[in-house]
A and B are shown apart, each in its own frame.
Chain A
Amino acid sequence: MTAVLEVEDLTVRFYAEEGVVTAVDGLSYRIEAGETFGVVGESGAGKSVAALSVLGLIDSPGRIEGGEVRFEGEDLLSMDESALRSVRGDGIGTVFQDARAALNPVYTVGEQIAETIEHHLEYAPSTARDRAIRLLDRVGIADAETRYSDYPHEFSGGMCQRAAIAMALSCDPELIVADEPTTALDVTVEARILDLLAELADEFDVAVQLVTHDLGVIAGTCDRAMVMYAGEAVETAPVEELYYDPKHPYTAGLMSAIPRVGDDDDRLPTIPGTMPDPIDPPPGCRFHPRCPFAEEACTRTDPALVDPETGEAATLDDDRAAACLEYTEGLSGGLDYSVEVAGGTGEHVEKAIDEREEGGSDE
C-alpha cells in the first residue's frame, strides 16, 4: 500500500478581528491509494479547513502555519501556484457541498467539464466534448448528449452534484476531496450519489477524502475514518472498529446521539454543551468540558494521539489511534461506556453511555 496523501502536523490559523483561531492544530493523517477515507466532526471541528489546505485553497485571513501536505510524495505547501494548479484537477479532483455554486452559471455544464479536460489533458475541443458526454452519462445523467448544453440552473441539485463528480473525475485524478457532497441533498438522492461515488472510486481506482458530519454516510462508504474535534483528530480507525469499538468518548457520544429507527427510548443520549470557542479553547483536553468521564488531569494535560493498545505515540502508519488520557496515564474512573449490537442480527448498533449526565443546556 502506498499513501497517496500524507498530511503531517498541519496547523492552520485564521487571523480574525476577535483573535486568532487555530482551525486545524497539528493534524496528521494519510490516505492510501484507492481507499475512501472519512473525516467526520461537527461544524467548527476543522474538517473543511483541513480539506481546503490539501487543495491549497486557504486564503487570507487564514494561513497555513506549519506542517506538510505530501501528495504522491511531493509537498504541496512548498509548490508555486502554477505547479499547484496542475496538481489540482489533474491529480486531485474536488466535489463541494453546493455543487450549483461550484459550477459557473453562464457556461453550460458540458462546456465546463470539457474545458477542464482541454486544459489539463490537452485534448482537442471535439474530443474533450466526447469525453465530457461519456462522463456525464457515466455519472448517471440521462440523455447526456442533450444535457451537455444545459446550464447549471436547468439541472436539479442531485444532477449538479453528479456533474461535479464528472468534472472531478474528468482528468483521471488519484484523489478526490469531497467536502460534504451530499449534505444539501434529499435522502433518496443522497443514497444514490453515495452509491455512485463508491462505484466510481472503485472503477477509476481513485482515493477519496470524504468530509461529512454524518456518521451514517461514513459507515456506508469509507474504509477508514478520522474523527475531529475543535481542530484536532481525536480518533482514527478502520470504520468497523470505529463503530463497534470506539476508543474516544467523543466518538461514542456522537454515535449515541443519532436517533435510530427501531429505537424505543424516549430520550436521546446527548453530548452536553457545544463546541468550544475556537479563539480560546479550553486547556488540557479540548473535549473535557463536555466529557462525562473527565477528571482533574484532563483539565491540565492535552492528550496526544496514541495507539490505544500500547499507549505509544501514534505514527502516520498506524491504523488505530485515539487521543484520550485513558490510554497514557489512565483515568481513575476509566471510560465507562459500552457498545450494544441490538437484535442479534448486527443490523443496528446502539451505544449505551452509562452515567452520562443528561444536560439539556447549551452553555
Chain B
Amino acid sequence: MSDSAEPVLRVEGLKTHYDSTDGFLDRLFGRSRRVRAVDGVDFELREGETLGVVGESGCGKTTLARSVLRLIEPTAGSVYHRGEDLTALSSAELRDRRTDLQYVFQDPLSSLNPRLTAGDVVGEPLDVHGLATGSERDERVRELLETVGLNANYADRYPHEFSGGQQQRLGIARALAVEPEVIVCDEPVSALDASVQSQVLNLLSDLQEEFGLSYVFIAHDLRVVEHVSDRVAVMYLGEFVERGPTDAVFEPPHHPYTEALLSAIPEPDPLWDGDGIRLTGTVPSPIDPPDGCRFHTRCPRLVPDANSDLPADVWRSVAALARRAASADDVTSLTATRGADDRTARLGESTRRSGGSSPRSDPATGSGPTEASRETFGGLVREEFDLPETLPDADAEETLGEAIDALYDDRIGTAATLLEPAFTSPCERHHPPEYEVGVDHGIACLRYDDGFDEEAGTFEEGAEPAGSV
C-alpha cells in the first residue's frame, strides 16, 4: 500500500466505438454507423478490492473490460495504472505492463491454446516476459498449478482433457503467472455449473487475500456480483447508471434499472414473491442510443411532464404511444392484434375436434385495423397501450382523441406531433448526470435531481433538471 490515495486503476471518460459501416454501398452513400459500445465510463479500482460490473448482454461490459487493458483500442479517454496512462503507451511498453495487468476470459476452453499442454499454457507468460527459465520455470509452473487447486502432475495434459472448472483454473493460473496487481475477470464463472462455480469463486477470493489482487469482475448474474464485489457498477448501453458500495447498490435508493435487475433474479425459494418490476423490450441498439436518459424507453419510473394531471402510469402509457407513433411507419403496429382477446386455445379447440380432412376457415377476421370503425380502432389502440376508455383528464383525453383520429386517417406523423408537446418526459430531453445519493454512491437518474418533487412524482414547476439537453 505505497500510496493509498492513488487507485490501482483509474478510468476516465473511456469510450470505445466500433465502425459497423456495412461494405461498399454504405461507404458510397456515406452512411456511417458507429456502435457506441462504451460511451464515457469513469471508475476507480482501489488496491485489493473487487469492482463488479453488471448489466444485460449488449450493455458493453465485455468491450469495457477489454478496452481497459487495451485488448481493444479505446476511441477516447484514459486508463491510468499507477498514475500512468495506458492509452498513451507504445505496444512494447504495454507488453511490459501486462505483468501487472491480466485477464481471465469467459469461455475457459476457447481461451486456452489447444496445442499447448497445461504446463505450457501456464509457463508461456513466464517465457514471454522472461521471468523464469529451465528448472526454475518448471518449479514455478508446478507451484502455480497447485495454487489454483490443480494437480501438478497434470502439467503434461492438454486443455481438452480437463473439465470446465479445471480449465477455468488453468486460465486463472496463467493470469497469476506474472504476479499481476489487477486481474480483469470477464464472466469467469458463467459457463460453469453451480457447484463448480462456487469453487472457482472461492478460489478467486482466496487468491485475492493471498496476493492482494484487485479485480474488475464482469458478470450478468447479480447474485454472483453481490457475493464477490466490494463495489458495484451497473451498466446500461455503454454507460454506468449507478455505482457505489455493494450494500448501498443492493439497498434502496436504486436506479430504476438496478431495481428491475434485482427484482428479476430467480430466487431459489418457492415461497418468495418475485412479482416485481418487469422490463419490456430489450436493450436498444447502441448504434443510435435513445436521447436523454438512455433507459427512458424501458423505464418503469419515467418521470411525467410537470404540467400533466394524469396519474403517472396512465401518463407513461400515453407517452409510450407517443414514442411508438414517432418511430412507427405503419398504423397496425400501434393497435392490438384483432381477435387477440379470443382465447387462442379455445379457437383451436372448436374447429379441431370436428375431425374431417377438408380445410376449413376460422370466422372472418377482416383485414387492416383502419378498415374497422373509428370506435373499434380507438379501442384497439387503447388496448395495445393499456389505456382506459377515457383518460381522467379532459385536456389529455382531447389530445389523445385527436391523435387517434389522425392515426385512423393513417397520418402517423400528425398523431406524433399532436402527442409530443404534452407527453414528452424530461427524461427524454435531459441526459442525467450522476447524482450523489450517499457516500461514494452515485445514481444517474433525474429522479434524484434537486428539482424532482417526490410526492408529486414530477419536476417542480419551472425546475429544470441539471442534465445536459
Contacts and interface: CB of A to CB of B under 8 A. Distances in A.
Interface of A: 42-43, 121-127, 130-131, 133-138, 142-146, 156-158, 169, 171-172, 186-192, 194-195, 203-205, 213-220, 239-240, 242-244, 253-255, 257-263, 266-272, 274-275, 346-349, 358-363
Nearest to A158: B282
B362 interface: yes
A122 to B, nearest CB: 6
Contact of B166 (A137, A214, A362): A362
Contact of A219 (B198, B261, B270, B351): B270
Contacts of A263: 227
7 contacts: A124-B360, A127-B351, A130-B362, A244-B270, A259-B198, A274-B163, A363-B151
Interface stretch (B41-49, B272-280, B370-378, B411-419): B272-280
Interface of B: 56-57, 149-151, 163-166, 169, 193-199, 201-203, 205-206, 220-224, 226-227, 250, 260-272, 274, 278-280, 282, 330, 332-333, 336-337, 339-340, 342-345, 347-349, 351-352, 357, 359-362, 365, 384
Nearest to B146: A361
B340 A127 contact: no
A134 B279 contact: no
Contact of A271 (B169, B195, B337): B195
Closest 10 CB pairs of A and B: A216-B266, A124-B359, A259-B227, A137-B337, A191-B264, A143-B333, A268-B198, A271-B195, A42-B193, A257-B198
Contacts of B250: 261-262
A203 to B, nearest CB: 7
A326 B252 CA distance: 45
A232 to B, nearest CB: 17
Nearest to A41: B193
Q: Which of B164, B337, B359, B384 has the most CB of A within 10 A?
A: B337
A158 B263 CA distance: 18
Nearest to B189: A259
B149 A361 contact: yes
Q: Which of B206, B260, B269 has the most CB of A within 10 A?
A: B269
B226 A131 contact: no
A360 B360 contact: no
Given A42-B194, A258-B194, A220 B330 contact: no
B201 A127 contact: no
A190 B268 contact: no
B277 to A, nearest CB: 9
B267 A127 contact: no
Contact of B345 (A203, A349, A360, A361): A203
B194 A187 contact: no
A287 to B, nearest CB: 11
Contacts, number: 214
B403 to A, nearest CB: 18
Nearest to A258: B268
Contacts of A269: 198
A267 B336 CA distance: 50
Contacts of A205: 345
Contacts of A262: 226, 250
Q: Which of B166, B196, B330 has the most CB of A within 10 A?
A: B196
Given A127-B360, A143-B332, A186-B56, A259 B349 contact: no
A187 B227 contact: no
A197 to B, nearest CB: 12
B352 A261 contact: no
Nearest to A172: B348
A219 B337 contact: no
Nearest to B191: A43
A204 B202 CA distance: 44
Nearest to B340: A137
A49 to B, nearest CB: 16
Contacts of B201: 259, 268
Contacts of B193: 42-43, 213, 275
Contacts of B336: 137
Contact of B223 (A135, A243, A261): A261
B255 to A, nearest CB: 14
Given A146-B332, A203-B345, A261-B262, A187 B282 contact: no
A188 B56 contact: yes
Given A134-B340, A146-B333, A214 B202 contact: no
A257 to B, nearest CB: 4
Nearest to B169: A362
B348 A131 contact: yes
A216 B265 contact: yes
Contacts of A144: 337, 340
Contacts of A192: 278-280
A271 B149 CA distance: 14
A156 B298 CA distance: 16
Contact of B352 (A121, A195, A204): A121
B344 A270 contact: no
Contacts of A157: 282
A201 to B, nearest CB: 11
A192 B282 CA distance: 11
Q: Which of A124, A263, A268, A274 has the most CB of B within 10 A?
A: A268
Contact of B221 (A146, A187, A189, A218): A187
A134 B340 CA distance: 5
Given A126-B361, A348-B269, A188 B264 contact: yes
Nearest to B209: A266
A216 B268 contact: yes
Contacts of B274: 191, 220
A271 B200 CA distance: 11
A172 B343 CA distance: 12
Contacts of A217: 266
A259 B223 contact: yes
Given A121-B352, A134-B339, 7 more contacts: A42-B194, A142-B333, A143-B332, A186-B282, A187-B261, A267-B205, A347-B269
B266 A214 contact: yes
A326 B206 CA distance: 34
Nearest to B195: A271
A191 B278 contact: yes
B259 to A, nearest CB: 11
A253 B362 contact: no
Contacts of B261: 187-188
Contacts of B220: 186-187
Contacts of A239: 270
